[in-house]
Structure 1
């Protein structure tokens, strides 16, 4: 009988040890599982943050650099752009369907090249509204059915790169701007040797690639992501110029909204100091013609490329005068902001 009780006691002790061991094991496994889940969330969050930082940095630097150099034309910077007078345009205008046309100050249509009236805008900012209207401007972009609503389109004219050394370096699909402090010439590869101004004809001239650039956002039909794209001015094989998408894909994925406010000198007497940042619609033709637009405040809102199921975004983001609500979705977002000095701007070559 005693032996039987001893065996029962031993069996109970083993069972108890087994239950305790199992409990400890389950506790450890639960801790490891929780740690791995937390580690996964941290890794996922870190990946999203890194991706947004990179996307925001690239987009802000690309747009900011071109804004800063809007209106830069080498030695000719700061002069009026009057076709047939101070500027000799030796290329044909782009067809309306191939160009980004504006009439945003109500003084006549203007495309990629200077006009005989002196109408020349080195910077254009318009907001995509309902039906992609852009207030009737920049139809080259506004006809796209997948544009991001309430985001800005930015058009910039300037020279890019480094000065071209010789006519032999002219590329067939580009346009060029030669100028000194007094006169300028726009030409392409057609008879480039003959069109290349000599030092005697244009003393101290420099020759650069001439560009008309347009930044905008749309939703990729392939990925469904909001993307930053850029149009640029090229010359095709038949010798006709056009505004075309740069490359086959987006510049930056995940850019959800861009907004630009313009820094304006609003004093009665121009003193060259920014007094207020206004939406492009609020800047008057007189302020443009008097070169009162001195700076641009750029806002870029980026989002993660994929959702984070463990995160709910109820934040609102202030892009100057525009508020973007996340609406409780699962995308992480970051807002980038920079202020750019528009040192080269001459919006009106002549009177308005």
Structure 2
């Protein structure tokens, strides 16, 4: 019997089949180990990137909150003391109403024995008794109240709001009307022809620090809140979360030229001595009247301590923060990151008028 013959092509095919073998166990284990190392490296990079992104978002939110708080307060400070386009003159009487006042007789306007208006700026230091209309206020925190007439004229009296009207006619019996009754607003324009001047809504806003945002849940988030006189009552709303502290320093114009001559923490008291915060003016200025002192405030330095809303793992805050008080704030020894933001806002309706006189 003749042995089978194999062609060279068949031999090559057979040798190829013998070479087509799978991975050995050792090779498979090595490949898996390399893959696991790569996956671990990629996972670590992803986690690191996610943490960095989360911290960036926290910081961005903190910056936005701090600057928005400054902008909101500064905008109201710059409007403070505005009652309308008419000039009420320089011989005004001033009063510092209770920030919780809602009754007409307690709001500070009067034309009996001269024109009396409320001060546009008034604050309470950390040592003051907290007003009853400011719920959940942080103990030993500062309060700022601003008062002015809206820059927009109103079409008519509405709801329980109060409105201000200024006379431009020399024949009117009084220079100012403050009321919430439509028929009371009869002051005329410059032509004295029976046409009435505009009426403006009276605005009162009090900024304060609360220990919570949603206080029904006691969330513990420090929040800048605003209590606004609206509809005949005081309504409180959250303005900015994450605001842990605010300090106000008031620039007092002691020489009546419109510019702040010195900055004090509390214009309601005698500041004729006190080291670097002296307001002497050669002894010519009297600090006897709290209302007059507040009426002479022409600028406010605002310092805000903004805190991250969420903590940062591994971070311990050992820093101190200078808000302009006699001593720094902190350290807080917790895992929240913080930053101080500050600005100076001019009280244009007081200082600006003095500069052009």
Q: Could you state the TM-score of these two structures normalised by the residue count of structure 2?
A: 0.70
Tell me by how many angstroms 1:67 deviates. Answer: 0.7
Q: Say if 1:262 and 1:296, in contact at 8 Å, map to a contact too.
A: yes
CA, structure 1 residues 187+36, in 2 after alignment: closer, same or farther (shift >3 Å)?
A: same
Taking only aligned residues, the RMSD between alpha carbons, in angstroms, comes to 3.3
Equivalents in 2 of 1:114, 1:48: separation in Å?
46
Q: Equivalent residue for 1:71?
A: 81
Aligned counterpart in structure 1 of residue 36 of structure 2, from 22, 26, 40: 26
Tell me by how many angstroms 1:201 deviates. Answer: 8.0
Residues 303-341 of structure 1 show CA distances to partners (whole Å, capped at 9, x for unaligned) of: 111212143222222111152214221112222211111
Tell me by how many angstroms 1:137 deviates. Answer: 6.8
Deviates more, 1:281-290 or 1:321-330: 281-290
Aligned counterpart in structure 1 of residue 240 of structure 2, from 245, 248, 252: 252
Secondary structure at 1:205 match in 2? coil
What are structure 2's unaligned runs of at least 5 residues?
1-22, 272-286, 352-357
Tell me by how many angstroms 1:229 deviates. Answer: 1.4
Q: Of the two, which has the highest radius of gyration? A: 2
Q: Say if 1:308 and 1:332, in contact at 8 Å, map to a contact too.
A: yes
Q: Check if 1:228 corresponds to 2:230.
A: no
Q: Give the length in aligned residue pairs.
A: 292
Tell me by how many angstroms 1:285 deviates. Answer: 4.3
Equivalents in 2 of 1:285, 1:137: separation in Å?
24
Q: Equivalent residue for 1:315?
A: 319
Equivalents in 2 of 1:325, 1:332: separation in Å?
12
Q: Say if 1:41 and 1:310, in contact at 8 Å, map to a contact too.
A: no
Q: Equivalent residue for 2:300?
A: 296
Q: Say if 2:162 and 2:178, in contact at 8 Å, map to a contact too.
A: yes
Q: Check if 1:172 corresponds to 2:179.
A: no
CA, structure 1 residues 114+81, in 2 after alignment: closer, same or farther (shift >3 Å)?
A: farther
Q: Say if 1:148 and 1:257, in contact at 8 Å, map to a contact too.
A: no
Q: Equivalent residue for 2:261?
A: 275
Residues 103-156 of structure 1 show CA distances to partners (whole Å, capped at 9, x for unaligned) of: xxxxxxx94222557473221111234xxxx2x474433xx4x32233210111
Q: Check if 1:125 corresponds to 2:123.
A: yes
Q: Equivalent residue for 1:42?
A: 52
Tell me by how many angstroms 1:66 deviates. Answer: 0.7
Q: Equivalent residue for 1:114?
A: 109
Residues 44-101 of structure 1 show CA distances to partners (whole Å, capped at 9, x for unaligned) of: 1121122112222321121111111110111245645559xxxxxxxxxx9x895279
- If asked which structure has higher relative contact order (CA below 8 Å, sep 6+), I would say 1
Equivalents in 1 of 2:99, 2:297: separation in Å?
30
Equivalents in 2 of 1:196, 1:337: separation in Å?
44
Secondary structure at 2:350 match in 1? coil
Equivalents in 1 of 2:119, 2:194: separation in Å?
25
What are structure 1's unaligned runs of at least 5 residues?
1-12, 84-93, 102-109, 236-240, 347-352
Q: Say if 1:82 and 1:114, in contact at 8 Å, map to a contact too.
A: no
Q: Equivalent residue for 1:99?
A: 101
Residues 14-44 of structure 1 show CA distances to partners (whole Å, capped at 9, x for unaligned) of: 5654454344233212211221121111111
Aligned counterpart in structure 2 of residue 212 of structure 1, from 204, 207, 210: 204
Q: Say if 2:250 and 2:301, in contact at 8 Å, map to a contact too.
A: yes
Q: Say if 1:299 and 1:337, in contact at 8 Å, map to a contact too.
A: yes
